[in-house]
Amino acid sequence: MMRSSPRIGAFQLYSLIVQSQFGSTAISIAHDVNAKSGTSGWISCLLGGAISLLFVYFVWKVSSQASSGNVFQLIMNRLGGWTGRLLLLIFSLLYALIAYIILSNWIYTTGLWAYQRTPQFFLLLCLIGLSVYLVIQPITTYARFCVLSVCFIPIFIFLSMYTLKEWDIYNLLPLISASPFKIFDGAIVILWSLLGVEILLILPKYHQDLAPKKVLKIALLSYATTIGLYTFSTLSSLALFGTETISYIREPLLYQMKAISLNIIERMDLLIITIWILFVMTSFCTYFMLFVSSLSAMLKQKKEMPLVLTLICGILLLLASMKRLTADQLDRFHLQVNYYVQGCSLGLILCVLLLLKIFPAKNGSEPS
């Protein structure tokens, strides 16, 4: 008797996608966009979201073709040999790079705002260790963790609204202060923050109870949620600080929360960092799973997340992240990432779509 794969529901799928996107850049998005678009940063957020919708559609299109496995297994099954392995190797390197960037951003920010006396190795070991534990569990366990994390998002919205009395509407004027090129440049920055929908590549067999078009609607809804959150975060930070002040603040959202004074909580920013770690972990887990799953398919492993391979990949990322990057190094790194990572990811997805057209399925050959 064959054991059926665990199933995830519509809200769990929604939470998985939202938590894949709303992560490491949540506290710094206003600074990043302001550097390009000024007071027009919120327009760049909306424009970047509109551009990314095409990426969402192509990822869904690819994932819908792997109904009984994941996309990486489908690639290996259809292409096989060196072609399939080379493509999966490129996928794994890309996702390993994104996971490394998430870790580097997190370790820099936590070292700056909190845990200054805690060894970097211990922080990384805790985050990666917990992530390894989560991803080797059934997908339903991780989905429940994402549902729990989504429940903390309203706290960000409430606290941002709490500073509404301090907003200065004149900080948002003029509404269009940058040229169309600058606004588009700011939209490119947003593309990096909106990555995460690629988690659909490893979920097809877990949401078979949902119609393909419903999966697309859920993906689009989660995307709209993330775009709305980033736009609101940028708008609130601009209204509170103004474009000139934000240019000197790397984490405007934390400064915004630090200004809140409640009798029962002395350091609101530390509470926000604690919650933010949940979002960082889910973003990291997404790309860690993609990294390991692509390697697993390349090595023709039966499991998507083999324990030994997962541990090896975790150790490699731990060692790679031990060198703490400076603010200047992170800025230079992001300058390259903003322009090339989403393009590379889209290029790979389009390449897979093309190859799946060229090499149609053979009867009984799809992964189960």
Could you list the pLDDT tens digit for every one of the 368 residues in the chain?
345 678 898 999 999 999 998 877 888 888 888 888 888 888 888 888 888 888 999 999 999 888 778 889 888 888 877 888 999 999 999 999 999 989 988 888 888 887 778 888 999 999 999 999 999 998 999 999 999 999 988 887 887 787 777 788 888 888 787 788 888 888 888 888 888 889 999 988 888 888 889 999 999 999 999 998 888 888 888 888 888 888 888 888 888 777 676 665 666 767 778 888 888 999 999 999 999 999 999 988 888 889 999 999 999 999 998 887 777 788 777 777 777 887 888 889 999 888 888 877 665 455 44
CB 172 within 8 A of CB 39: yes
| Residue entry with tokens 């736009």 | 231
**String of b and e for 134-153 (b: at least 16 CB within 10 Å)?**
bbbeebeebbebbbebbeeb
Q: Which of 364, 357, 320 is nearest to 62 (CA)?
A: 357
* Token reading at 319: 């060692």
What are the phi and psi torsion angles at 262 (to 5°)? -120, 145
pLDDT for the residue numbered 79: 82
Cα gap 22→40, rounded to integer Å: 21
Assign domain 10-358 to a CATH class: mainly alpha
What are the phi and psi torsion angles at 362 (to 5°)? -95, 150
Q: Which of 232, 241, 234, 229 is nearest to 168 (CA)?
A: 241
Cα gap 259→268, rounded to integer Å: 8
Cα gap 97→95, rounded to integer Å: 5
* Token reading at 336: 């390259």
Cα gap 342→191, rounded to integer Å: 7
Strand partners, 265: 262
pLDDT for the residue numbered 144: 93
Strand partners, 262: 265
Cα gap 254→48, rounded to integer Å: 23
pLDDT for the residue numbered 263: 60
pLDDT for the residue numbered 205: 86
* Token reading at 167: 């907003």
CB 238 within 8 A of CB 41: yes
The domain segmentation of the chain, as residue ranges, is 10-358
- 3-state SS record for the chain: CCCCCCCCCHHHHHHHHHHHHCCCCCCCHHHHHHHHHHHHHHHHHHHHHHHHHHHHHHHHHHHCCCCCCCHHHHHHHHCCHHHHHHHHHHHHHHHHHHHHHHHHHHHHHHHHHCCCCCCHHHHHHHHHHHHHHHHHCCHHHHHHHHHHHHCCHHHHHHHHHHHHHHCCHHHHCCCCCCCHHHHHHHHHHHHHHCCCHHHHHHCHHHCCCCCHHHHHHHHHHHHHHHHHHHHHHHHHHHHHHCHHHHCCCCCHHHHHHHCCCECCECCHHHHHHHHHHHHHHHHHHHHHHHHHHHHHHHCCCCCCCCHHHHHHHHHHHHHHCCCCCCHHHHHHHHHHHHHHHHHHHHHHHHHHHHHHHHCCCCCCCCCC
CB 333 within 8 A of CB 100: no
